[in-house]
Amino acid sequence: MFNCMVIGAGIAGLSSGIALHKAGHRPVIFEAYGVPSDGIGGFLTVAVNGFDALDTLGLKGAAGRLGFSTPLMSMYLGSSGKHLIDFDYGGSLPDGTTARTMTRSELYAMLREEAGRRGIGIVYGKRLTAVEETPDGVSAVFHDGTTAHGDILVGADGLHSRVRTLIDPDSPEPRNIPLLNTGGILPAGVLPPGLLDIEAGRMKMVFGKRCFYCYMQDPDGRIWWFANPLQRSSEDPATLDAGARKAWLTNLVAGDRTIMAAIITATDDIIRPYTTSDFPSIPRWQRDRLVLVGDAAHAASPSSGQGASMAIEDAVTLGRSLQGQEQGSLPEALARYENERRSRAESVVEWGRRNAAPKIRGQFKRVFEDLVLPAVFRGIARRSEDTFDWVYRHHIQWDTATSDIA
């Protein structure tokens, strides 16, 4: 049994703590912020591969009560309103489970409550500054001068991971994607009846004249939306106040043949725009008794729709890799975890970057939006073999040493 220190109490850290507990170890989670992050963050989608991993942890049922089902997406041109193509968002699991959209806070709260139910400690106000490795373990040194000791330290501390730099000081910085991310949730009944042009559970994704965006309706009538404006060096929308932010976004979508301008105008609380990044690859995920999970190892563009799902997959794979291991086999177990996850994770990162590319090019050149995109999606529709099973059908078999495509 290992004493495991997990650095970071987000989705990756909480999932890792639960998976390590399932594997028979004793995890404690250390969070840099002083209080839980209830109510913080926007929304995300957990894909079916994420639900498959949650099922291994016994949490698919709890997660399936969060948010709402979003199994379908449709692509449109904003300039003309032209419909391009419809996609399944990964299909469904054998029991009918589909992708679900939920607030980040909902998923976080469910995982935190489950960690507490399993007796997993979470210590707040502990920002990691250094580690000290010894023959019999590793010590974590925190900014307040305190320390903690364990057999293994798991870096679930996100895109700007301190643990990543401790594993390899020469690890590259995140790679910028020139898109901003913003969005909001509009309460039911605010827009005039009959204005919404998409059924509940379907994501309407639009290549607008000046911005890529998406909106969808939940069964209660709320409208969830996000937008990906191009990041330009001449402006910093994150500095705008709420009114100016709304005016800026409304101007970006005003010329499109959609209802997006009305949605933005009616939304009171719009997320402050933030930059997006990814990691093409980092040299090492683990060293001795240190290991990375989630965005600390392989941050993907939001265009992948896989951030939360990949973090949960990492957690399950790490827990399974460490199940039944002894002290002497720890380095081999961590190397096995990295070897199993690296290729898949890097493929998803690149897939996400490819998904972001049309959003970028469409905002640079109208000709790409008006002429090229329809041809691209016609080609996809003709190629029945062009599936994404490698993304969505990934299954981690807990009691064996390999994962597979179901």
**H or E element in which residue 342 lies:** helix 330-364
CA–CA–CA angle 292, 226, 175 (5° rounding) = 40
Q: Is the dihedral of CA 313, 318, 319, 320 positive or negative?
A: positive
Beta-carbon count within 10 A of 314 CB: 32
**H or E element in which residue 49 lies:** helix 48-56
Rg (CA), the chain: 22
CA dist 106 → 43, 83, 116 (Å): 9, 33, 16
Predicted local distance difference test score (pLDDT) of residue 385: 42
Q: What are phi and psi of 56, to 5 degrees?
A: -60, -30
The one-letter amino acid code at 32 reads A
Q: Alpha-carbon distance 285 to 171, whole Å?
A: 10
User: Within its chain, how far is the Cα of 3 from the centroid?
Assistant: 27
- Could you list the pLDDT tens digit for every one of the 406 residues in the chain? 899 999 999 999 999 999 999 999 999 999 999 998 887 889 999 999 999 999 999 999 999 999 999 999 999 999 889 898 898 999 999 999 999 999 999 999 999 999 999 999 999 999 999 999 988 899 999 999 999 999 999 999 999 999 999 999 999 999 888 889 999 999 999 998 888 888 999 999 999 988 999 999 999 999 999 999 988 877 788 899 999 999 999 999 998 999 999 999 999 999 999 988 888 789 999 999 999 999 999 988 888 889 999 999 999 999 999 998 887 789 999 999 999 999 999 999 988 888 777 666 655 555 455 556 666 555 555 543 457 889 999 999 998 644 554 4
